[in-house]
Amino acid sequence: MHLAEMAVLRSVPAAGVFLALTRRCPLSCAHCSTESAMDGAEHAERPFRRLVASFTRQEHPEFIAMSGGEALLRPRLVRDLADSARLSGTRSYLLSGLYFARDGHAVPAALRAAISAVDHFAVSLDRFHEREVGRRAAFRVLHEIRSWGPQVSVQITGDGGADPYVAELVREVREEFADQVPMLVVPLRPVGRAKALEGPAAGPRVRHAAPAPCEMAAWPLVTYDGTVLTCCNDGLAAAARPPHLVLGHADEDPWPVLRRRHLDRPLARAVRMFGPRYAEARFGSGAGASGYCDVCVTLHRDRGLGERVAGYLDSPAGPAMESAVRALVERHGPYGFARRHGIARYSELVTLGWEGRER
């Protein structure tokens, strides 16, 4: 499974679901968006297992995307979820920080079984990860994993299009793997531990006054404790847990139920269609918070906003506008999401090694 196949559907509501399997991680990366550490929270496996087991051939997401913390601290769970998902036709993606590559030893058997079970294995590699796991060690393990079967990719976080570190790393990855390993290059954002970083690395907060559809609300997120959110910004949404973003719990609600809630809830649909600031300004009082995500987690406090949004969505204009926005968001194929949410000059790297087939 190529990275481009996920990028094509990344903006399609409920085409995938994120599984945050743990908040534990052996690394201490300064930019960690989830502020994970070895003393981080880790809950029971059952909610994740029950949710994936509820997928059917008739109703299932195209992808599960497993991460953490470090998901490979639970290798048996990763392997079992990938195997279970495959029974319904769902493919699996795993993101790792490669903590096990630091000592130069062979990949442990349990980790090899987990990695071999997934359809795509992605590695985080950037100036922060490289302080924890060396570049050559990461390359060595990626070469080994490619021989086991899963397709691989590299996720790079940088300071922007002019960042010389990113340019040099991209060049070296392309040379090392002969342009056969795709990359997603994203800007550093002030979330999690990255909020403490000073200077341009943290990046400015973006304010949206015009319609700005939120693609972060396209795929639901199952948090480390099993709560299911319509937003994958777990650093904010999971902490605030506003009712319009909480879809249910993976230990109680099967995928068909969660999917229907995700697709049908008026406020979630409005956020995907207009973005939270424009939705609040158009249908609410306009007196909410100023930040893009900050507005979103407070939408439920605006009395009557949900009813007014629902009325618009039930009118003839609502579905037509929704379809038009979807068409605009999805029109650039695999490059669109990478251009909008990554560093645009590197967007075409998501298709390196891709033959253009979705299966």
The reported pLDDT for the residue numbered 203 is 42
Asked if pLDDT for residue 222 goes beyond 80, the answer is yes
Summarised one tens digit per residue, pLDDT across range 287-325 is 666 678 888 888 888 888 889 999 999 998 888 888 888
Check residue 205 and give its pLDDT.
43
The CA-atom distances, in angstroms, between 54 and each of 64, 90, 315 are 13, 12, 33
- CA nearest 238: which of 293, 285, 291? 293
pLDDT digits (tens, 9 = 90+) for 85-98: 999 999 999 999 99
pLDDT for position 358: 44
What is the pLDDT at residue 184?
96
User: Phi and psi at residue 155, in whole multiples of 5°?
Assistant: -110, 120
The pair of structure tokens assigned to 53 is 């087991």
Closest CA to 280 of 297, 294, 299, 265: 299
d(CA 227, CA 232) in angstroms, rounded, equals 12
Instruction: List, for residues 26-77, the tens digit of each pLDDT value.
Output: 998 888 888 888 988 899 999 999 999 999 999 999 999 999 899 999 999 9
Stretch 203-232: mean pLDDT, rounded?
80
Tell me: pLDDT of 189 over 60.
yes
pLDDT of 112 strictly over 80:
yes
Task: Calculate mean pLDDT across residues 207-227.
Answer: 84
Nearest alpha carbon to residue 213 among 28, 13, 356: 13
Rg (CA), the chain: 20
CA distance 5 to 356: 9
Give yes or no for residue 201 having a pLDDT over 50: no
CB 135 within 8 A of CB 125: yes
Amino acid at the residue 187: P
Q: Is the pTM of this model over 0.85?
A: yes
Long-range contacts of 265-268 (CB under 8 A, 24+ apart): 265/230, 266/306, 266/309, 266/310, 266/313, 267/299, 267/300, 267/305, 267/306, 267/309, 268/217, 268/230, 268/244
